């Protein structure tokens, strides 16, 4: 994707690129680079070494 005249440094054209370290913005005219932060991945909550769903299953079985 190219964003025309979006570079904060020179008002040049910016495109989104990706390498082994993640995604980033790169200006075609001046070479400006800015990393795009990755969105955190939702992970199951843990309580005492057990996943919350496992705790609920154990409580249901005990009842």
| CA dist., res. 11 & res. 49, Å (int) | 51
**Digit-coded pLDDT (tens) for 10-44:** 999 999 999 999 999 999 999 999 999 888 776 76
pLDDT of residue 35: 94
Q: With respect to residue 31, please indicate whether it lies within any of the assigned structural domains.
A: yes
Domain region containing 17: 1-38
Q: Is residue 16 part of a domain?
A: yes
Tally the domains of the chain. 1
Q: Where do we find the tokens 């690129």?
A: 17
In the chain, which ranges are E strands? Answer: 2-3, 14-19, 22-27, 33-35, 46-47, 50-51
Residue 8 lies in a domain: yes
For residues 42-59, give the mean pLDDT: 63
Closest CA to 27 of 8, 14, 10, 11: 14
Task: Decide if 36 contacts 26 (C-beta within 8 A).
Answer: no
- Residue 8 pLDDT exceeds 70: yes
Whole-number pLDDT of residue 62: 66
Model confidence, pTM: 0.58
Q: Give the CATH number, domain containing residue 30.
A: 2.20.25
């Amino acid at each position: 994707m190219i964003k025309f005249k979006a570079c904060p440094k020179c008002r040049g054209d910016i495109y989104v690129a990706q390498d082994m370290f993640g995604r980033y913005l790169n200006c075609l005219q001046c070479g400006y680079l800015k990393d795009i932060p990755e969105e955190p991945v939702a992970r199951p909550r843990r309580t005492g070494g057990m996943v919350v769903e496992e705790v609920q299953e154990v409580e249901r079985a005990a009842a």
